[in-house]
Amino acid sequence: MKSTLEDHAAIRLDDNSAAPGTERTLAILELLGRHRLGLNLTEIARELDLPVNSVFRITGVLLARGYLQRREDDRRFVMTNKLFDLARPQVREKSLVVCALEALKELRDRTGETVQLLTAVNHKMTVLEQCVSSQAIKVSSTVGLRVPMYSCAPGKAVLAFLPPAELEAFFAAVELKQFTPNTLATRESLQAELARSRKRGYATDLAEGLEGIHCAAAPVLDDHHYPVAAITVMAPAFRLKKDRFAELGRACVEAAETIRRRLLA
């Protein structure tokens, strides 16, 4: 696979950088972040146009510090969750995930459906934790998965409670695209839905991101009433029908308030 334009740009920057080791380390991490199945030493060097001995030294440090693992079978480097763990959001020095776990489990047991905790990163929602449904047919994803904010209930729950300046910045930075026939892909339709979501306290997703999946979500607010995360219930559309949105939306609001109390206690 040929290097991307971004890879080449990173190496050109490295050539003139006062900290070439840092540039190369970040380039390796970013490359492996795009290749979740891993790359070996030679492949990394070829992709980034770096000397093999430089890649060997840098990956050795990253292995020792726990940012990478090396599989025994094919000697490929893969990323660990350490960077993700370091970036997990906190409120008042309390871990958002730790404070949310019990509420996630309770909401999963109450609804019978998969429940997730997500936070916004660079205009996308990132899955921090989930409690998977025990139903035979269920919806789930992986921790670390990122999805567009405007086409999912948790993203709309966060957007609905953002300060006006931040919401304006979101619209300036993000191109709204149509993922399904139900996606709110115009600013006018999305803003109208965000106003409704803020008024009732929860957001919904009527197969707007993926066909056949419905969700309800509520924001988790900090002590300044800023949406630091969202908690969502997600299920196949045939089981989570429109007449359940109000029930599940209120359940998400209650769970989000429980998490907020634990964060601020």
pTM over 0.85: no
CA distance 152 to 230: 11
Name every residue whose Cβ is closer than 8 Å to that of residue 179 and which is 6 or more positions away in sequence: 148, 151, 208, 209, 210
- The whole-angstrom separation of Cα 93 and Cα 104 is 20
Helix axis angle, 245-264 to 96-111, nearest 10°: 150
Give DSSP secondary structure letters for 27-76.
Answer: HHHHHHHH-TT-B-HHHHHHHHT--HHHHHHHHHHHHHTTSEEE-TTT--
Residues of the chain with CATH 3.30.450.40: 87-264
**Which of 188, 194, 108 lies closest to 152, judged by CA?**
194
pLDDT of residue 18: 58
Q: Is 10 exposed, middle or buried (CB count within 10 Å of its CB: 0-12, 13-18, 19+)?
A: buried
Domain with CATH 1.10.10.10 in the chain: 5-85
Are the beta carbons of 13 and 59 closer than 8 angstroms? no
Q: Tell me the CATH number for domain 87-264.
A: 3.30.450.40
Q: From first to last of its 265 residues, what are the pLDDT tens digits of the chain?
A: 333 333 333 444 345 555 778 889 989 988 988 887 889 999 999 999 999 999 999 999 998 888 888 888 888 998 876 666 555 555 555 678 888 999 999 999 999 999 999 999 889 999 989 999 989 999 988 888 889 999 999 999 999 999 999 999 999 999 999 999 999 999 999 999 999 999 999 999 999 999 999 999 999 998 888 998 999 999 999 999 999 999 999 999 999 999 999 888 7
Distance CA 104, CA 27 (A): 36
- Cα–Cα distance for residue pair 123/144, rounded to 1 Å: 14
Instruction: Return d(Cα 260, Cα 184) in angstroms, integer.
Output: 29
- Give, for 91, the enclosing helix (H) or strand (E): strand 90-91
Please, which residues bridge with residue 231 across strands? 117, 218
Predicted local confidence at residue 224, as pLDDT: 84
CA proximity to 157, closest of 263, 258, 256:
256
**pLDDT for res 87:** 55
Backbone phi, then psi, for 163, in 5-degree steps?
-60, 150
- Residue found under tokens 């924001």: 219
Fold of 5-85: Arc Repressor Mutant, subunit A (1.10.10)
Phi, psi of 176 (to 5 degrees): -75, 125
CA angle centred on 63, ends 62 and 67, rounded to 5° = 60
State residue 203's pLDDT score: 98
Rounded Cα distance, 250 and 253, in Å? 5
DSSP letters, 209-238, are SSTTEEEEEEEEE-TTS-EEEEEEEEEETT
Beta bridge partners of 234: 114, 215
Provide the residue type at 18 as one letter.
A
Q: What is the pLDDT of residue 12?
A: 42
